[in-house]
Structure 1
Amino acid sequence: MNSKEWIAHFRQNATEYRVDWSLEPNITEEQINSIIYSLQAWQLGETSDGSNLLRAATKYAHSINDPDYIEAVKLFIKEEQKHGNNLGLYIDAIGEKRIRQDWGDSLFRKIRSFNTSMELWTLTVIVVESTAQIFYQSLKDATNCALLKQICTDILIDEAYHITFQMERISTIVEGKTDFGKQWRKCFYKLFFFSTTLVVWFAHKKLFKAGGNCFKSYWKKMSLKYAKTLGKLAVAGNQMPVAGGVTQIVVLRSETVASNRP
Structure 2
Amino acid sequence: MIPVSALSQPETIAPNSSSWLKHFRKKCDRLLPIPWNDSYSLTDAEIRLISHSIQTFQLGESSEGNHLMRVSRQYAEQTGDPYWVETVKLFIGEEQRHARDLARFMTAQQIPLAQKQWTDTWFRKLRRLANLEMAFMMLFTAELIATLYYPALGRATRSPILSALCTQIVYDETQHVCFQAESLQRIRRTHPKWRLWATDTLYWIFFRVTAIAVWLDHSPVLKTDGYSLPSFYQAACNALGRRQKAMGKRQEAKGDQ
Match of 2:222 among 208, 216, 219: 208
Taking a change above 3 Å as real, the CA distance of residues 213 and 51 of structure 1, as seen in their structure-2 partners, is: same
* CA–CA separation in structure 2 for the residues paired with 1:81 and 1:111: 20
Aligned to 1:58: 73
How much has 1:231 moved relative to structure 2? 6.4
More moved, 26-35 vs 43-52: 26-35
More moved, 166-175 vs 77-86: 166-175
* CA–CA separation in structure 1 for the residues paired with 2:178 and 2:241: 14
How much has 1:26 moved relative to structure 2? 4.2
How much has 1:148 moved relative to structure 2? 0.6
How much has 1:154 moved relative to structure 2? 0.4
RMSD, aligned α-carbons: 2.0
- Percentage of identical aligned residues: 29
Aligned to 1:82: 97
More moved, 8-17 vs 57-66: 8-17
Q: Residue type of the partner of 2:50? A: I
Taking a change above 3 Å as real, the CA distance of residues 57 and 130 of structure 1, as seen in their structure-2 partners, is: same
Q: Does the Cα contact within 8 Å between 2:127 and 2:134 map onto a contact in 1?
A: no
* CA–CA separation in structure 2 for the residues paired with 1:240 and 1:26: 48
How much has 1:205 moved relative to structure 2? 1.5
For residues 101-152 of structure 1, what are the alpha-carbon distances to aligned partners after superposition, in whole Å with 9 as ceiling and x for unaligned?
A: 111111122222222x111011011101011111101101211211110000
Aligned to 1:119: 133
More moved, 104-113 vs 127-136: 104-113
Q: Does the Cα contact within 8 Å between 2:212 and 2:229 map onto a contact in 1?
A: no
More moved, 182-191 vs 63-72: 182-191
How much has 1:67 moved relative to structure 2? 2.5
Aligned to 1:100: 115
* CA–CA separation in structure 2 for the residues paired with 1:17 and 1:222: 26
Taking a change above 3 Å as real, the CA distance of residues 153 and 222 of structure 1, as seen in their structure-2 partners, is: same
In the TM superposition, what are the counterparts of 1:210-225 in structure 2 within 5 Å? 210-225=224-239
Aligned to 2:55: 40
More moved, 99-108 vs 156-165: 99-108
Aligned to 1:22: 37
* CA–CA separation in structure 2 for the residues paired with 1:53 and 1:230: 23
In the TM superposition, what are the counterparts of 1:97-246 in structure 2 within 5 Å? 97-115=112-130, 117-230=131-244, 236=248, 240=251
* CA–CA separation in structure 1 for the residues paired with 2:251 and 2:208: 20
Structure 1, unmatched stretches of 5+, are 244-262
* CA–CA separation in structure 2 for the residues paired with 1:11 and 1:242: 27
Structure 1 ranges of 4+ moved more than 6 A: none
* CA–CA separation in structure 2 for the residues paired with 1:126 and 1:157: 15
* CA–CA separation in structure 1 for the residues paired with 2:118 and 2:236: 23
